[in-house]
Amino acid sequence: MAKLNQILAIEKGIKTRVYAEFTELHQATQKPALMNGFHKSYQARDEDGETYPSESQKVQHNAGEVLDRVARSLTELFDITATKDWANCTAKADVVIDGRTLAEAVPATYLLFLEKQLNDLSTFVAKMTELDPGSDWNIDPGTGLFKTEPTATQRTKKVQRPIVLYDATEHHPAQTQLITEDVIAGQWTTIKYSGAIPAPRKKQLLARIERLSNAVKFAREQANAAEAPDKKLAKEVFDYLFAP
Protein backbone atom coordinates (compact mmCIF):
# COMPACT_ATOMS: atom_id res chain seq x y z
CA MET A 1 0.00 0.00 0.00
CA ALA A 2 1.50 3.35 -1.09
CA LYS A 3 1.61 6.39 1.16
CA LEU A 4 -0.44 9.46 0.29
CA ASN A 5 2.60 11.62 -0.49
CA GLN A 6 3.81 8.96 -2.96
CA ILE A 7 0.45 8.97 -4.70
CA LEU A 8 0.45 12.77 -4.90
CA ALA A 9 3.98 12.72 -6.39
CA ILE A 10 2.92 10.62 -9.40
CA GLU A 11 -0.71 11.67 -9.81
CA LYS A 12 0.00 14.89 -11.74
CA GLY A 13 2.20 13.16 -14.31
CA ILE A 14 -0.38 10.43 -14.93
CA LYS A 15 -3.18 12.98 -15.23
CA THR A 16 -1.22 15.06 -17.78
CA ARG A 17 -0.41 12.01 -19.92
CA VAL A 18 -3.92 10.54 -19.82
CA TYR A 19 -5.63 13.85 -20.63
CA ALA A 20 -3.26 14.38 -23.57
CA GLU A 21 -4.22 11.00 -25.08
CA PHE A 22 -7.92 11.56 -24.33
CA THR A 23 -7.82 14.96 -26.05
CA GLU A 24 -6.02 13.51 -29.07
CA LEU A 25 -8.64 10.76 -29.49
CA HIS A 26 -11.47 13.20 -28.78
CA GLN A 27 -10.33 15.44 -31.65
CA ALA A 28 -9.61 12.53 -34.02
CA THR A 29 -13.03 10.90 -33.61
CA GLN A 30 -14.79 14.14 -34.59
CA LYS A 31 -13.16 14.07 -38.05
CA PRO A 32 -15.05 11.93 -40.57
CA ALA A 33 -11.95 11.80 -42.78
CA LEU A 34 -10.12 9.78 -40.08
CA MET A 35 -13.05 7.47 -39.33
CA ASN A 36 -14.07 6.61 -42.89
CA GLY A 37 -12.38 5.10 -45.92
CA PHE A 38 -13.06 3.56 -49.31
CA HIS A 39 -11.61 1.46 -52.10
CA LYS A 40 -12.40 2.16 -55.77
CA SER A 41 -11.39 0.03 -58.74
CA TYR A 42 -12.05 0.75 -62.42
CA GLN A 43 -13.06 -1.74 -65.11
CA ALA A 44 -13.04 -0.62 -68.74
CA ARG A 45 -15.99 -1.67 -70.82
CA ASP A 46 -13.82 -2.58 -73.82
CA GLU A 47 -10.52 -4.47 -73.82
CA ASP A 48 -8.77 -1.50 -75.43
CA GLY A 49 -10.48 1.05 -73.16
CA GLU A 50 -8.62 3.42 -70.89
CA THR A 51 -7.37 2.08 -67.57
CA TYR A 52 -7.19 3.86 -64.24
CA PRO A 53 -5.39 2.89 -61.05
CA SER A 54 -7.40 1.92 -58.00
CA GLU A 55 -8.06 4.58 -55.39
CA SER A 56 -8.34 4.03 -51.67
CA GLN A 57 -8.40 5.82 -48.33
CA LYS A 58 -7.55 3.87 -45.19
CA VAL A 59 -9.70 4.16 -42.05
CA GLN A 60 -7.46 5.75 -39.41
CA HIS A 61 -9.61 5.17 -36.32
CA ASN A 62 -12.14 2.48 -35.42
CA ALA A 63 -14.75 3.54 -32.83
CA GLY A 64 -14.53 0.22 -30.97
CA GLU A 65 -10.74 0.38 -30.73
CA VAL A 66 -10.84 4.06 -29.69
CA LEU A 67 -13.24 3.27 -26.84
CA ASP A 68 -10.93 0.44 -25.71
CA ARG A 69 -7.98 2.87 -25.68
CA VAL A 70 -10.04 5.42 -23.76
CA ALA A 71 -11.01 2.78 -21.19
CA ARG A 72 -7.41 1.59 -20.74
CA SER A 73 -6.06 5.12 -20.45
CA LEU A 74 -8.74 6.44 -18.09
CA THR A 75 -8.55 3.28 -15.95
CA GLU A 76 -5.07 4.29 -14.79
CA LEU A 77 -6.23 7.81 -13.97
CA PHE A 78 -9.43 6.64 -12.28
CA ASP A 79 -7.56 4.19 -10.06
CA ILE A 80 -4.71 6.52 -9.01
CA THR A 81 -7.27 9.20 -8.13
CA ALA A 82 -9.31 6.65 -6.19
CA THR A 83 -6.28 5.75 -4.09
CA LYS A 84 -5.63 9.41 -3.28
CA ASP A 85 -9.25 10.16 -2.46
CA TRP A 86 -9.63 7.12 -0.22
CA ALA A 87 -6.62 8.30 1.76
CA ASN A 88 -8.03 11.81 2.06
CA CYS A 89 -11.57 11.05 3.04
CA THR A 90 -13.61 9.27 5.65
CA ALA A 91 -17.18 9.60 4.35
CA LYS A 92 -18.32 6.95 1.89
CA ALA A 93 -21.41 5.93 -0.04
CA ASP A 94 -22.35 3.13 -2.44
CA VAL A 95 -22.90 3.82 -6.15
CA VAL A 96 -26.05 1.87 -7.01
CA ILE A 97 -27.61 1.76 -10.47
CA ASP A 98 -30.64 -0.26 -11.51
CA GLY A 99 -30.45 -2.13 -8.20
CA ARG A 100 -26.82 -3.15 -8.85
CA THR A 101 -24.03 -1.91 -6.59
CA LEU A 102 -21.35 -0.76 -9.02
CA ALA A 103 -18.94 0.45 -6.34
CA GLU A 104 -19.13 0.19 -2.56
CA ALA A 105 -18.20 2.80 0.02
CA VAL A 106 -16.97 5.44 -2.42
CA PRO A 107 -15.44 8.62 -0.90
CA ALA A 108 -17.06 11.98 -1.57
CA THR A 109 -13.96 13.41 -3.26
CA TYR A 110 -13.82 10.52 -5.71
CA LEU A 111 -17.51 10.89 -6.43
CA LEU A 112 -16.84 14.52 -7.38
CA PHE A 113 -14.01 13.39 -9.65
CA LEU A 114 -16.20 10.67 -11.17
CA GLU A 115 -18.94 13.20 -11.90
CA LYS A 116 -16.49 15.35 -13.88
CA GLN A 117 -15.12 12.36 -15.80
CA LEU A 118 -18.57 11.12 -16.74
CA ASN A 119 -19.47 14.59 -17.99
CA ASP A 120 -16.33 14.66 -20.15
CA LEU A 121 -17.02 11.12 -21.35
CA SER A 122 -20.56 12.09 -22.32
CA THR A 123 -19.19 14.97 -24.40
CA PHE A 124 -16.59 12.66 -25.95
CA VAL A 125 -19.16 10.05 -27.03
CA ALA A 126 -21.73 12.65 -28.13
CA LYS A 127 -19.27 14.22 -30.57
CA MET A 128 -17.96 10.99 -32.09
CA THR A 129 -18.51 10.68 -35.83
CA GLU A 130 -21.59 8.60 -36.54
CA LEU A 131 -21.99 5.98 -39.24
CA ASP A 132 -23.46 7.57 -42.38
CA PRO A 133 -27.19 6.72 -42.30
CA GLY A 134 -27.34 7.16 -46.07
CA SER A 135 -25.61 3.81 -46.68
CA ASP A 136 -26.34 0.24 -45.66
CA TRP A 137 -23.51 -1.08 -43.49
CA ASN A 138 -22.39 -4.53 -42.39
CA ILE A 139 -19.45 -5.62 -40.24
CA ASP A 140 -16.51 -6.88 -42.26
CA PRO A 141 -15.09 -9.81 -40.20
CA GLY A 142 -11.67 -9.40 -41.80
CA THR A 143 -11.12 -5.81 -40.64
CA GLY A 144 -13.68 -5.25 -37.90
CA LEU A 145 -14.83 -2.18 -39.82
CA PHE A 146 -18.22 -1.39 -41.26
CA LYS A 147 -18.47 -2.03 -44.99
CA THR A 148 -21.00 -1.34 -47.76
CA GLU A 149 -21.89 -3.50 -50.71
CA PRO A 150 -20.06 -2.57 -53.95
CA THR A 151 -21.74 0.15 -56.01
CA ALA A 152 -21.09 0.75 -59.70
CA THR A 153 -20.74 4.19 -61.29
CA GLN A 154 -20.54 4.43 -65.07
CA ARG A 155 -17.83 6.48 -66.77
CA THR A 156 -18.60 7.99 -70.14
CA LYS A 157 -16.44 9.38 -72.91
CA LYS A 158 -17.27 11.69 -75.81
CA VAL A 159 -17.28 10.19 -79.31
CA GLN A 160 -17.86 12.04 -82.58
CA ARG A 161 -19.93 10.57 -85.42
CA PRO A 162 -21.28 12.01 -88.66
CA ILE A 163 -24.96 12.50 -89.40
CA VAL A 164 -26.52 13.24 -92.80
CA LEU A 165 -28.26 16.60 -93.00
CA TYR A 166 -29.28 16.35 -96.66
CA ASP A 167 -29.10 13.27 -98.88
CA ALA A 168 -27.14 13.48 -102.10
CA THR A 169 -29.04 14.46 -105.25
CA GLU A 170 -28.23 14.44 -108.92
CA HIS A 171 -26.91 17.97 -108.65
CA HIS A 172 -25.66 18.25 -105.06
CA PRO A 173 -23.49 16.02 -102.85
CA ALA A 174 -24.80 14.88 -99.49
CA GLN A 175 -24.35 17.31 -96.60
CA THR A 176 -23.10 15.82 -93.30
CA GLN A 177 -22.19 17.15 -89.85
CA LEU A 178 -20.14 15.72 -86.96
CA ILE A 179 -21.97 15.43 -83.63
CA THR A 180 -20.57 14.50 -80.22
CA GLU A 181 -22.20 11.76 -78.12
CA ASP A 182 -21.50 10.44 -74.62
CA VAL A 183 -20.93 6.69 -74.66
CA ILE A 184 -20.20 4.38 -71.73
CA ALA A 185 -16.47 3.64 -71.49
CA GLY A 186 -16.43 1.62 -68.26
CA GLN A 187 -17.46 1.73 -64.64
CA TRP A 188 -16.06 2.44 -61.19
CA THR A 189 -16.82 -0.07 -58.45
CA THR A 190 -16.78 1.53 -54.98
CA ILE A 191 -16.82 -0.08 -51.54
CA LYS A 192 -17.06 2.23 -48.54
CA TYR A 193 -15.44 1.43 -45.18
CA SER A 194 -15.99 3.13 -41.84
CA GLY A 195 -14.84 2.94 -38.26
CA ALA A 196 -17.50 5.44 -37.13
CA ILE A 197 -19.91 4.65 -34.32
CA PRO A 198 -23.50 3.56 -35.14
CA ALA A 199 -26.14 6.02 -33.91
CA PRO A 200 -27.99 3.40 -31.76
CA ARG A 201 -24.70 2.46 -30.06
CA LYS A 202 -23.99 6.12 -29.31
CA LYS A 203 -27.45 6.59 -27.79
CA GLN A 204 -26.96 3.44 -25.70
CA LEU A 205 -23.64 4.67 -24.31
CA LEU A 206 -24.96 8.16 -23.57
CA ALA A 207 -27.95 6.69 -21.72
CA ARG A 208 -25.65 4.53 -19.58
CA ILE A 209 -23.38 7.46 -18.80
CA GLU A 210 -26.38 9.57 -17.75
CA ARG A 211 -27.76 6.83 -15.48
CA LEU A 212 -24.38 6.30 -13.84
CA SER A 213 -23.86 10.05 -13.45
CA ASN A 214 -27.19 10.37 -11.64
CA ALA A 215 -26.27 7.47 -9.35
CA VAL A 216 -22.92 9.13 -8.55
CA LYS A 217 -24.63 12.43 -7.71
CA PHE A 218 -27.01 10.63 -5.36
CA ALA A 219 -24.11 8.79 -3.68
CA ARG A 220 -22.14 12.03 -3.27
CA GLU A 221 -24.96 13.53 -1.26
CA GLN A 222 -24.63 10.65 1.22
CA ALA A 223 -20.87 10.47 1.31
CA ASN A 224 -18.48 11.51 4.08
CA ALA A 225 -14.69 11.51 4.08
CA ALA A 226 -12.95 8.30 5.18
CA GLU A 227 -9.49 6.77 4.86
CA ALA A 228 -9.12 3.68 2.62
CA PRO A 229 -6.47 1.39 1.07
CA ASP A 230 -5.48 1.15 -2.61
CA LYS A 231 -8.61 0.94 -4.79
CA LYS A 232 -9.25 -0.44 -8.28
CA LEU A 233 -12.70 0.67 -9.42
CA ALA A 234 -12.27 1.70 -13.04
CA LYS A 235 -12.58 -1.80 -14.49
CA GLU A 236 -16.10 -2.20 -13.14
CA VAL A 237 -17.03 1.26 -14.44
CA PHE A 238 -15.82 0.66 -18.01
CA ASP A 239 -17.06 -2.93 -18.12
CA TYR A 240 -20.49 -1.40 -17.59
CA LEU A 241 -20.16 1.67 -19.81
CA PHE A 242 -18.63 -0.02 -22.86
CA ALA A 243 -20.25 -3.44 -22.61
CA PRO A 244 -21.51 -4.67 -26.01
Q: What is the pLDDT along the chain (244 residues), one digit of tens a residue?
A: 666 667 778 888 999 999 999 999 999 999 998 999 999 999 988 888 888 899 999 998 899 999 999 998 999 999 988 888 777 756 688 999 989 999 998 887 788 899 999 999 999 999 999 999 999 999 999 999 999 999 999 988 998 888 887 777 877 888 888 888 888 889 999 999 999 999 999 999 999 999 999 999 988 776 643 444 466 888 888 899 988 8
CA distances from residue 57 to 32, 130, 153 in whole angstroms, order as listed: 12, 18, 18
d(CA 178, CA 112): 80
CA proximity to 2, closest of 242, 241, 236, 228: 228
Q: Which residues contact 126 (CB under 8 A, 6 or more apart)?
A: 202, 206
> Furthest-apart CA pair in the chain: how many Å?
116
CB atoms within 10 A of CB 92: 21
Spatial contact of 83 and 230, defined as CB atoms under 8 Å apart: yes
